[in-house]
Chain A
Amino acid sequence: MDYKLTFLKYRDTLKKNKLLGLKCNQCDAYTAPPRKVCRECGSEDMEIVTLSGKGEIQTFTVVYVPPEGFESPFVVAMAKLDEGPWVMGNIEGVDPKNITMDIIGRRVTVSYKELPSDKISGGERIALTFSFLD
């Protein structure tokens, strides 16, 4: 079976501010980021769906020593989407120096930012971004 939701398709749709994922036709679970089989039951029988793009912060860090090509400080967090999957992104629109553990559990909405490629990135890069809803 063809790879259903490739990174290319995911990325091009994300640039229209739509977060794509996969819904399993066997167990109804959602899978994101995309992969070949359902994260719950392992079935390939999934369909592409648009996710709500809303979720809740589970954990985070403020990075002060960045990889080459990044400027610190910046916030990296894991958000649990309302449909269930966990995704990694950058919290935007805040001063990283003010970020504390109080943000765990806060509601966020998902968007994206584009990054230039580097020699080992395998092409153009895109990252999810999170903004607080409340």
Chain B
Amino acid sequence: MRQVAVVGVGMTKFGVSEKDQLEMFSEAAMEAINESNLKPKDIQALCLGNAVGGLSEGQTVIASHAAAEIGLQGIPATRFEGACASGTMAVRDAFIWVASGYYDIVLAAGTERQTVSGTPFATRIMNTGAHHFYESPTGITFPGMFAMMAHMYSYKYGIPLQKLKEQMAMVAVKNHKMGALNPKAQFQKEITIEDVFNSIMIATPLQLYDCCPISDGAAAAIITSADVAKKLTDKPVYIAGVGQGCAGGLSTQRDYTRLIARESSAKQAYQMAGLTSQDIDVCELHDCFTIAEIVATEGLGFFDFGDGSAAVERGDTQIGGKVAINPSGGLKAKGHPVGATGVAQIYEIANQLRGNCGPRQVEGAKVGMTDTMGGPFASVGNIILKRGW
């Protein structure tokens, strides 16, 4: 396989959008294409992450419609779907397609518009991520799945639930603090632990501020061979390693604190990169709920299993701590337009490595990592990026 780089990235502001999935996609895509000093005609394939566009906006064959928005015809345009991991899957496949030598320039992107569905139907749509016969009819929600993770974490590690809830609230406070520094974040305001505890209950023990919002947004990245990248930019960001793993519904998994899909995916990415968790300076990971960030920091190897919650309290996950986690504000504050999230993580890491992040910059960051998890802990993708200059 040959060396592959991210040349340019683009992203809409996340939040509530009047634009549809295709309009948002085209804004992010053209930003990435323009930043890469390319024209749409240079794009040889489109990999598009989109989770629920068929249900939320009644738009299927979305990758082809998206390609047409930016004047692409005749090239392969493919949708990737793994719920919240869809965008990372698109980037990973774009990487493999270029690394193999089959294509030189691929556009990887993600787009999603979920606010238009309203909370009850958006929640029903996300409920389809569980097994449709054996799990969804219980009314299980996405917050509910992670709520069951939180109770299991508290029980398994003997951490009193109230103590764990305080540590979870610290995740929300940290990520809102970062989001306040990100002009593309859905929530750009700081919150307190009291705000978390005073918010409404969503699914015990998760309260409103333990949860990421329902969001609209798009993101894009131009993936090329290193040879092409060197001609387009003096700051190519190399893709050092990728991973992807799956698991079935919650009934097929037993320990929601040790996720099969993530541990497999992260191992693949670290092995390909020849790196360990110790080498990661900055990580954008899947904090769809506060407990999810804690469990992810353990699964990616930053902290011992059962220590991730205490690590938050120690400040180990802040900028300047052991590893900077979610300097963009994460899904929690930046927002979580499901299919776009994984690509938006690439956007943040590429900008962190290039030193473009202003007040939320992780100084001297040389190696970064992304992590997204879709469905009932059922689909995980990881990408490791490093400076190519």
Contact = CB atoms under 8 A, between A and B. Distances in A.
A126 interface: yes
B134 interface: yes
Max chain A C-beta neighbours (<10 A), residue from B127, B131, B251:
B251
A42 to B, nearest CB: 13
B138 interface: yes
Given A33-B251, A66-B120, A121-B132, A76 B148 contact: yes
B151 A125 contact: no
Q: Please name the 7 residue pairs, one residue from A and one from B, whose CB atoms are nearest each other, closest first.
A: A61-B147, A67-B124, A33-B134, A125-B137, A68-B120, A70-B139, A127-B137
A107 B252 CA distance: 20
A69 interface: yes
Interface of A: 7, 11, 32-33, 35, 39, 58-70, 72, 74, 76-78, 85-90, 99, 101, 104, 115, 118, 120-122, 125-128
A66 B134 CA distance: 17
Nearest to B150: A61
Contacts of B200: 64
Interface in B95-152: 119-121, 123-124, 126-128, 130-141, 143-144, 147-149, 151-152
Contacts of B123: 65-68
B75 interface: no
A60 B135 contact: no
B144 A63 contact: yes
Interface in B146-167: 147-149, 151-152, 154-155, 161
Interface residues of B, number: 45
A35 B133 CA distance: 12
B272 interface: no
21 contacts: A33-B131, A59-B151, A59-B256, A61-B151, A63-B140, A63-B143, A63-B147, A64-B200, A64-B201, A65-B119, A77-B148, A78-B251, A87-B134, A88-B134, A88-B135, A88-B140, A88-B249, A88-B251, A89-B138, A99-B204, A122-B133
A35 B136 CA distance: 16
